[in-house]
């Protein structure tokens, strides 16, 4: 019996050694094949950041892609994986310990980066679970008044940022990138403000009298040069993306801690709600004007509700 057990242990040890050798062999083949794939694709991975720099992207998206590639390539180096392989990308995504929405975003980023690097369309595996995003909330007039009244008592700078977002429906990066030279209304006879946007480019808007007075008083408190940013951003903000992110985090915290808003679990409350509010308000105004045009077309009074029976017909 002892002899049989001894033979069995010997066989198990031998099999374990075989498995270990087989694993090393397959790993070496994988590493060699990775090098062959890179050679075949004709891709030089010594400077992938430069290749990403060549992509036609907004500055914010380009910085996001660079950061994604740094994280992904570090994972591949640690696990001896070929960064150009679809399997490597899928393994990376499967091992992420983040929210599902973040995984989906990273998957999209990697697909775009890899497609550009290898010169062909790369399609990674679909993520099994589906994300049901919450609707972004749009503020009512009453909620806007209550919220702004609360915010002006908390912090003047953050109040002004949120006023800008509400007034012009812009992104947080607009406030983050706003410089003194963008405030053209500071010059006598000028009523314009330039709203920078890293995604769509700058746009020129007329400044409202109330916001003009508030911004003028604010910038006069601190001496600024033409190329200085209007609003401050705490932390490591060496790049525009980091600066805008820091301000976005701060504004989202204001919204989260607000007592003036009665939040519903069915909606998403973030800095994007100011953009949604502006769009919704513009849509409602357009609908109101369209109804009035329809009333005039058939001779109804401007306040007539009978127009609903004419325009809500199924075609």
Task: Say what the pLDDT of residue 144 is.
Answer: 94
Each residue's pLDDT tens digit, 252-268:
999 999 999 989 888 88
In the predicted structure, residue 46 carries a pLDDT above the cut 50: yes
Average pLDDT of span 258-282: 91
* Average pLDDT value for the chain: 83
Q: Regarding the domain with residue range 136-279, which homologous superfamily does it belong to in the CATH classification? A: Intergrase catalytic core (1.10.443.10)
What string of H, E and C letters represents the secondary structure of the chain?
A: CHHHHHHHHHHHHHHHHHHHHHHHHHHHHHHHHHHHHHHHHCCCCCCHHHHHHCCCCCHHHHHHHHHHHHHHHHHHHHCCCCCCCHHHHHHHHHCCCCCHHHHHHHHHHHHHHHHHHHCCCCCCCCCCCCCCCCEECCCCHHHHHHHHHHHHHHCHHHHHHHHHHHHHCCCHHHHHHCEHHHCHHHCCCCCEEEECCCCCCCEEEECCHHHHHHHHHHHHHCCCCCCCECCCCCCCCCCHHHHHHHHHHHHHHHHHHCCCCCCCCCEECCCHHHHHHHHHHHHHHHHHHHHHHHHHHCCCCCCCCCCHHHHCCCC
Joined together, the tokens standing for residue 162 give 């949120």
What confidence category does residue 27 fall into, taking pLDDT thresholds of 50, 70 and 90?
very low
pLDDT in tens, 283-306: 999 989 999 999 999 999 888 888
Q: Which two tokens stand for residue 298?
A: 């058939």
What's the pLDDT at 185?
A: 94
Whether the pLDDT of residue 24 is over 80: the answer is no
What's the pLDDT band for 44 if we cut at 50, 70, 90? low
Once rounded to an integer, what is the mean pLDDT over residues 125-144? Answer: 79
Q: Looking at residue 41, what is its pLDDT?
A: 47
Whole-prediction pTM:
0.64
Residues 180-213: tens digit of each pLDDT: 999 999 998 899 999 998 778 899 999 999 999 9
| pLDDT given for residue 12 in this prediction | 53
What b/e readout covers 118-154, taking b as 16+ CB neighbours within 10 angstroms?
A: beeebebeeeeeeeeeeebbbbeeebbebbbebbeee
Q: What residue segments make up the domains of the chain, in order of their start?
A: 15-118, 136-279
Instruction: Let me know if 27 is exposed, middle or buried by CB neighbors in 10 A (0-12, 13-18, 19+).
Output: exposed
**pLDDT at site 34:** 43
Whether the per-residue pLDDT at 234 is higher than 90: the answer is: no
CA of residue 42 relative to chain centroid, distance: 32
pLDDT at 45 over 60: no
Q: What is the pLDDT of residues 149-185, one digit of tens each?
A: 999 999 999 999 999 999 999 999 999 999 999 999 9
Over pLDDT 90: what percentage of the chain? 42
pLDDT for the residue 14? 55
Residue 28: pLDDT band (50, 70, 90) is very low
Q: What is the pLDDT of residues 100-128, one digit of tens each?
A: 778 888 888 988 988 888 877 877 877 76
């Amino acid at each position: 019996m002892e002899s049989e057990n001894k033979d069995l242990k010997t066989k198990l040890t031998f099999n374990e050694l075989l498995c270990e050798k087989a694993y090393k062999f397959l790993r070496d083949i994988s590493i060699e094949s990775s090098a062959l794939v890179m050679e075949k694709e004709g891709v030089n991975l010594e400077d992938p950041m430069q290749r990403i720099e060549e992509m036609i992207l907004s500055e914010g998206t380009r910085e996001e892609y660079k950061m994604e590639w740094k994280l992904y390539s570090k994972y591949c180096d640690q696990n001896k994986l070929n960064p150009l392989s679809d399997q490597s990308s899928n393994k990376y995504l499967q091992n992420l310990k983040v929210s599902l929405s973040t995984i989906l975003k990273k998957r999209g980023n990697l697909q775009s980066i890899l497609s550009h690097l290898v010169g062909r369309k790369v399609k990674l595996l679909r993520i099994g679970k589906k994300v049901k995003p919450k609707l972004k909330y749009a503020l009512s007039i009453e909620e806007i008044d209550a919220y702004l009244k609360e915010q002006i008592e908390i912090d003047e700078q953050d109040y002004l940022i949120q006023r800008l977002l509400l007034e012009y429906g812009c992104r947080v990066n607009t406030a983050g990138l706003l410089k003194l030279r963008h405030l053209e209304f500071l010059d006598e006879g000028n009523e314009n403000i330039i709203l920078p946007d890293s995604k769509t480019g700058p746009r020129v808007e007329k400044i409202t009298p109330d916001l003009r007075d508030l911004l003028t008083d604010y910038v006069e408190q601190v001496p600024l040069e033409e190329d200085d940013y209007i609003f401050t951003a705490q932390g490591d903000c060496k790049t525009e993306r980091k600066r805008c992110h820091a301000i976005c985090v701060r504004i989202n915290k204001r919204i989260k801690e607000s007592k003036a808003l009665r939040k519903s679990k069915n909606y998403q409350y973030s800095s994007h709600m100011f953009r949604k509010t502006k769009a919704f308000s513009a849509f409602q105004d357009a609908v109101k004007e369209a109804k009035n045009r329809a009333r005039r077309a058939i001779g109804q009074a401007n306040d007539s509700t009978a127009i609903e029976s004419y325009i809500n017909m199924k075609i």
